[in-house]
Amino acid sequence: MRLTDYFLPVLKEVPKEAEIVSHRLMLRAGMVRQQAAGLYAWLPLGYKVLRKIQAIIEEEQARAGAVEMLMPTLQSADLWRESGRYDDYGKEMLRITDRHDRDLLFGPTNEEMITDIFRSFVHSYKQLPLNLYHIQWKFRDEIRPRFGTMRSREFLMKDAYSFDLDKDRAEEAYRRMFVAYLRTYYRMGLTAIPMQAETGPIGGDLSHEFIVLADTGESGVFCHRDLLDKPIPPRDTDYKGDLSPIVKDWTSLYAATEDMIDMERFEREVPEDKRIAARGIEVGQIFYFGTKYSKVMGASVMGPDGKEAFVHSGSYGIGLTRLVPAIIEACHDDDGIVWPVSVAPFEVALLNLKVSDAQCSSVCEDLYAGLQKAGLDVLYDDRQDGAGAKFASADLIGIPYQLVVGPRGAKAGEVEIKNRKSGERTTLPLDRAIQTLKDWIEPERRDRI
């Protein structure tokens, strides 16, 4: 993509309304624009990151056996009255009346709707297990939306729902999602620690939040330091096998949010030199809630014994629009964002330091075509701006590699590659630049698959 053909409204000044690093950088890098309190337009650069995050989630959900679908944003209030949650949910729910005076709501979650879909089509244990998910916009009328898209009123969320014959099989589904979540966050360059959590309005008695440590996190967290270095399950993990050893290994070390902390147990089980007391960002939560919805909504199947049985269910959420700022909080420096390759909006920034120089521009055109042919995602800064502005923009938006071409280098047949994360600069002959970038980028792609 040529930057002269792109829409990238970067800001030089730090917006006054931005309280945390990720919010400041997302606004300055032209990723989002606030339209109203807690409501954001996702501009091209931010939306591209969002789509890359979505692709990783979809791949890992598929590996774990979840099947994608799509449910509407608006839901009938009758389903929520049937489950008993319509009046209990509170003012966070946006209630709507249509022209026929029918009560609707802008969905904050989808347990009722998916249960209604399930009971309409599934009637035998032979159709189980089943895990359905969608990625859809949701709305919760937060009393105080803040921190940009970290806590916004409208947000994009992946929510999956499992259905099983009994508790044992439902807990197997829970473990599949537990492992899938570990892999999902790893692929985005994050270390997300599973912690026991409250179930809240979703219900049930088993839940884990996945927390990324960050100074700007909303939750206080307490955990064992070794959780930061645990190996992630590999991509060839057998999701049809016994995953309990993996889950047991990850939950054997103490980890809890401030809402769940047992300080006496934390100090007893975690050696003093291994204790972490910090802040964290919740990037996902999983729940097992048994028959909470199936009983009240009549979602049952014929069991192998010929008797009707209410299905056991769980739900599994990931906030995509929350993940973007979480990654930035974990991956930035004083100059801007430092994207991991797996979620970067572009992999290479090609910087033409003097567009008016014919030889420099000719070299850049050849490199641009070659990078595209090599399958690298490139943003070509072909603006008339000076070198300083181009370096500043490239650092701000955080593209992992910068390929720098100036008049002197073009004449000498040389280019410079800058690694955004390390700051290391390498000067190479022109004919080696593209292959070198490919050799550096492809392993980073593979390591996060």
Q: Which residues contact 166 (CB under 8 A, 6 or more apart)?
A: 309, 312
pLDDT tens-place string over residues 382-435: 999 999 999 999 999 999 999 999 999 999 999 999 999 999 999 999 999 999
Q: Which pLDDT score is estimated for 90?
A: 85
* pLDDT at position 448 over 90: no
- Residue ranges with strand state E in 60-153: 67-68, 74-76, 94-97, 103-106, 130-139
Average pLDDT over residues 56-68: 98
Pick the residue with more confidence: 18 or 121? 121
Q: What residue type is 106 in one-letter code?
A: F
Q: Which of 51, 165, 55, 111 is nearest to 316 (CA)?
A: 111
Q: What is the mean pLDDT of the chain?
A: 95
pLDDT tens-place string over residues 392-403: 999 999 999 999
Chain centre distance of CA 198: 21
Q: What residue type is 243 in one-letter code?
A: L
Q: Which pLDDT score is estimated for 203?
A: 56
Q: Which of 155, 192, 417 is nearest to 327 (CA)?
A: 192
* Local confidence band at 202 (pLDDT 50, 70, 90 cut-offs): low
Distance CA 187, CA 343 (A): 9
Q: Which pLDDT score is estimated for 20?
A: 93
pLDDT tens-place string over residues 288-312: 999 999 999 999 999 999 999 999 9
Domains delineated in the chain: 31-330 (3.30.930.10), 341-447 (3.40.50.800)
Q: Which pLDDT score is estimated for 377?
A: 98
* pLDDT at position 172 over 60: yes
Predicted TM-score (pTM) of this structure: 0.95
